């Protein structure tokens, strides 16, 4: 009898461990990348050399930002060839709102498809007035999402401080989330969220499956964003747990706005801090 009870307990214990094991496996599969805005000066001087340097550090993926939208398709193919050579991916791009203008849909589709990206992320909505303005942003995202869907691309939105500051008791980021399809990725910028006193973990948990990528931007009182990843106020372990259990994260992107070390050294140190934190 005691053997049967023990056996049953062992079975239940093993069964209970399955979700944890699945979450752990998912955690290890979430890639770590770099938002290339972090090394923007180097990118302007030597894009190919900078991407090589980032790949050599051990980053799994990169996110190209604004200026990429001025590339020709021929140049985008050269960049893609480099990515393939280095075995590094581009899962998403950072875009101005102009990428979501109907006249620019095809260009966004062409460039992102060449790069192998999955997500076209609106990184700035421009000047927005009131909640009515944010509703228009949501409409633009929704229309873009429908257009990109035909090319097997998804739309995304990247927040800054403004989206987490309430207007008439409502945060603009809630307007975005409520009035866009669930296929629209809510790319969380952790640093700006923390800076304005909001809870990134609560936001992740409130939007299951929509946090496909998260910007690991650090922030600290008195230092602002000029602090290495892991050395600021971000509740990272809680963020990782929420992102991997509920948020649906596929990849993280370190984003750095400056530090006491040169940019390439800084993003290398940030990656090392990330690896230590996830060990």
With b for 16 or more beta-carbon neighbours within 10 A and e for fewer, the 168-202 pattern comes to eeebbbbbbbebbeebbbbbbbbbbbbbeebebbe
The per-residue pLDDT for 16 is 38
The per-residue pLDDT for 28 is 54
The per-residue pLDDT for 172 is 98
**What span, in angstroms and rounded, lies between the C-alpha atoms of 111 and 83?**
14
The per-residue pLDDT for 21 is 36
The per-residue pLDDT for 4 is 38
**What span, in angstroms and rounded, lies between the C-alpha atoms of 217 and 191?**
5
Q: Where do we find the tokens 């496996």?
A: 25
List average pLDDT for each run of 10 residues in the chain, which is 279 residues long: 35 36 47 98 98 98 98 98 98 98 98 98 96 98 97 98 98 98 98 98 98 98 96 97 98 95 98 97
pTM of the model: 0.89
Contacts of 43 (CB under 8 A, 6+ apart): 36, 50, 67
Q: Taking the CB of residue 258, how many other CB atoms lie within 10 A of it?
A: 13
Query: Is beta strand 251-255 parallel, antiparallel or unpaired with respect to 213-217?
Result: parallel
| Tokens describing residue 193 | 């969220």
């Amino acid at each position: 009898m005691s053997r049967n009870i023990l056996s049953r307990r062992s079975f239940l214990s093993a069964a209970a461990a399955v979700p944890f094991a699945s979450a752990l496996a998912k955690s290890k599969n979430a890639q770590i990348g770099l938002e290339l805005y972090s090394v923007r000066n180097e990118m302007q001087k030597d894009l190919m050399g900078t991407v090589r340097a980032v790949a050599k550090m051990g980053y799994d993926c990169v996110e190209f930002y604004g200026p990429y939208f001025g590339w020709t398709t021929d140049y985008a193919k050269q960049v893609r060839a480099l990515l393939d050579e280095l075995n590094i991916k581009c899962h998403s791009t950072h875009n101005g709102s102009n990428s979501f203008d109907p006249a620019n849909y095809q260009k966004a589709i062409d460039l992102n498809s060449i790069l192998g990206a999955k997500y076209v992320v609106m990184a700035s909505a421009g000047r927005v007035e009131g909640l009515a303005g944010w509703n228009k942003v949501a409409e633009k995202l929704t229309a873009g999402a429908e257009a990109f869907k035909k090319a097997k691309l998804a739309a995304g939105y990247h927040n800054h401080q403004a989206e987490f500051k309430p207007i008439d008791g409502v945060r603009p980021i809630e307007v975005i989330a409520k009035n866009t399809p669930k296929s629209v990725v809510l790319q969380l910028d952790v640093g700006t969220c923390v800076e304005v006193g909001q809870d990134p973990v609560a936001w992740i948990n409130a939007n299951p499956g929509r946090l496909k990528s998260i910007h690991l931007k650090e922030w600290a009182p008195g230092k602002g964003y000029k602090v290495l990843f892991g050395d600021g106020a971000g509740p990272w372990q809680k963020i990782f747990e929420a992102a991997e259990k509920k948020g649906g994260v596929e990849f993280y992107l370190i984003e750095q706005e400056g530090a006491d070390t040169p940019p390439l050294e800084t993003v290398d140190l940030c990656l090392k801090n990330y690896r230590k934190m996830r060990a």
